[in-house]
Every structure is written in C-alpha cells, then in structure tokens.
Amino acid sequence: GIATNEIRASCVGNQLSLAVNGIPLVTVTDPTFVNGDVGVGVTTFQPGTAVVEYDSFRVLQP
C-alpha cells in the first residue's frame, strides 16, 4: 500500500537505534563498526519490484 512514515536510525559510537513514526523499535550495541558510511536499501519479499519515494533524506552528525 501507500503510506507515509518517518524512519529514524541513530548510530552513535557502538549503539544503534531504530524508530518508526516516533516509536522506538530497537536499540542494540555492536562494537564491530564504530564509524563508516550511510546507505539506504529496499527489498521486497514478493515477486516484482518495490517503489519507494523519499520526501527528504537527512544525515546528521551527533
């Protein structure tokens, strides 16, 4: 379906947090990567393609 959602990922040091529409979903600690690059990927578990549109995409340094 078509929906508008705010997805927020916070990556500070070795702590990774994910929230959707202001609701915290998960926070984990992983010492494997404490710095790196940012990327966005989309997949579908159904045959065909996925279409995703972003109104805005921001990367901020804490």
* pLDDT score recorded for residue 22: 94
Please state the domain extents for the chain.
1-34
pTM for this prediction: 0.66
Q: Quick one: pLDDT band at residue 1, thresholds 50, 70, 90?
A: low
Query: Which whole number is the average pLDDT over 8-26?
Result: 92
Among 31, 46, 39, which Cα is nearest to 1's? 46
Query: Which whole number is the average pLDDT over 15-39?
Result: 90
- Spell out the SS3 assignment of the chain: CCCCCCEEEEEECCEEEEEECCEEEEEEECCCCCCCCCCCCCCCCCCCCCCCCCCCCCCCCC
**How many helices, marked H, and strands, marked E, lie in the chain?**
0, 3
